[in-house]
Amino acid sequence: MNDNDFNIKHIDPTLYNEDLAPLKPEKRSWGAFEIFNVWSNDIQSLFGYTLAASLFLSYGLNGWAVMAAIVLAGVIVMFLVNLTGKPSVKYGIPFPVMIRASLGVRGANLPAMLRAIVGIFWYGVQTYFASTAVALLITALFGAGSGATFLGLSGVAWLSFVIVWVFQIAIFWQGIERIKHFLNWAGPLVYLVMIALMLVVWYQAGSELLPAVGSIFSGEGERSTSSVAAFFAIVGTMVAYFAAVVINFGDFTRFVKTERQMKLGNLLGLPLNIAFFSFIALIITAGTLVLFGEALTNPADIVERVDSLPLTIVAALTFFAATVGINLVANFIPPAYDLANLFPSKISFKLGGLITAVIAFFVGGLWVAVISQIGVPGFVNALGAVVAPFYGIIVVDYYLLRRQRLCLQELFNSSPDSAYYYTNGWNTHALIAFALAALFSLSTVVVPAMSALDGYGWMMGAALGGLLYFLLARQNVLVTANAY
């Protein structure tokens, strides 16, 4: 491709703005290190650490098998994101624009808005959890305050929530380069602190640490399923954890200079990073078993038991940085693009981010008193499962049917005779494939009889969506692809 290919000649204001436009290679500044830090911030959040640590304890499985399952999940996710990231590296377009090829120039709004709803919800929730780290710091330095609460949050909690909310907007408002710098700072810092905490725990536990690790690796705990089922349950759980970023990974890879840099960043950031971070979580968890008589998987609980002001300050800043990092990656940038795609002439990337932040403020503020009590997270998880078939549709459309060829001009063209207009801007074949596959993936979440498939629902839904789309659309799309 040359520079002329990136210039959109016939601009449709209902499909185009500068934030959605193809980004030329010479304007991209991301490399393998930046992609590595996308994944570092994703796994190093409070929830990511707790998940990694708890997997060694929850399934009664040999520790080596748990580690192998975690690494396998990393390899699977690496393979998945290499597929969704490649088109955006080649063409410099974000996810909502790329999916116009398979869903239609208007139909692309459906997956974009579903993904935006999920992202906005979890953005608000993660903002609340990041604020607990700030509240931990303020309480350690100045005390807990009067204890009066509003909507389940104390004065310190509300102050912390507002601080985090404003901080995230401030970073986002300065553009993608500022976000890149924050991720590049936060990822390595969290690693340094976690390694330091591991070494401190190892030193304090002394000679009793390795026997504690051995007990975890023995796999002598209670297990309600077979070893094989437990192994693949861990794999499914880890893949599902990263699912939010897998579909819209192009939102990040459009800033990457080359495909090779993207793949190197994914290799370092997924199987290798996950394995090393899980090892750190394992050592710290074993150390808490020695020091406190029970295995603690929540970092905040560990800090509370240690009762050290310097450790509290460092840990609070670390938890804050890690949780804000994953929030920007998984829950802020994607909805900003998705909302910009809905009304490009009226909503820019920055305005989309501001809308995301405003709605998310109410989600986070009502989390403790209302939302966490009424089962809304279950609804949002179900919505996340519904989005899964779009992954299969995107991959099948680009690799098998279009043979890795898109026409950038047509992605921004809404005339009835354009390549991606289909029927009134909607690809009915993709919609049928999505609807049928979504029914299945949703049932794994909401139908008790299919609860055993819950951990695999995302992958199975994605595979089914891709298969159905291939069977329905192959002849029509091949004819269209051969024209370019």
For 256-297, the pLDDT digits (tens) are 999 999 999 999 999 999 988 888 888 888 888 888 888 777
End-to-end CA distance of the chain: 13
For each of the domains in the chain, give its residue range(s) and CATH number, in order of start.
Answer: 17-374 (1.10.4160.10), 377-484 (no CATH)
Region 464-484: mean pLDDT is: 75
- In this structure, which amino acid lies at residue 114? L
pLDDT the model gives residue 376: 57
Cα 312-282-239 angle, rounded to 5 deg = 105
Q: 227 pLDDT band (50/70/90 cuts)? A: confident
How much is the average pLDDT of 239-267? Answer: 91
Output the pLDDT for position 220.
Answer: 59
How sure is the predictor about 459, in pLDDT bands with cuts at 50, 70 and 90?
confident
- Between CA 234 and CA 54 the distance in angstroms is 10
Q: How far is Cα 66 from Cα 274, in angstroms, rounded to an integer?
A: 12
DSSP-H helix ranges across 11-150: 32-43, 46-58, 63-91, 95-98, 100-103, 109-142
**pTM of the predicted protein model:** 0.87
Question: 212-230 burial, b for 16+ CB within 10 Å, e for fewer?
Answer: bbeebbebeeeeeeeeeeb
In the predicted structure, residue 301 carries a pLDDT above the cut 80: no
* pLDDT band per the 50, 70, 90 thresholds, residue 133: confident
Residue 234 has pLDDT above 70, yes or no: yes
Mean pLDDT of all residues in 14-38: 91
Distance between CA 181 and CA 302 in Å, rounded? 29
In this structure, are residues 97 and 23 in contact, taking their beta carbons and an 8 Å threshold?
A: no
Who contacts 96 (Cβ-Cβ below 8 Å, separation ≥6)?
A: 20, 108, 109, 112, 337, 338, 340, 341
**How many whole angstroms separate alpha carbon 322 and alpha carbon 54?**
19
Q: Which residue has the tokens 């690496």?
A: 78
Highest mean pLDDT, choosing among 1-5, 66-70, 262-266: 262-266
Res 105: pLDDT: 94
CB-CB neighbours of 452 under 10 Å: 12
Per-residue confidence (pLDDT) for residue 478, from 0 to 100 = 55
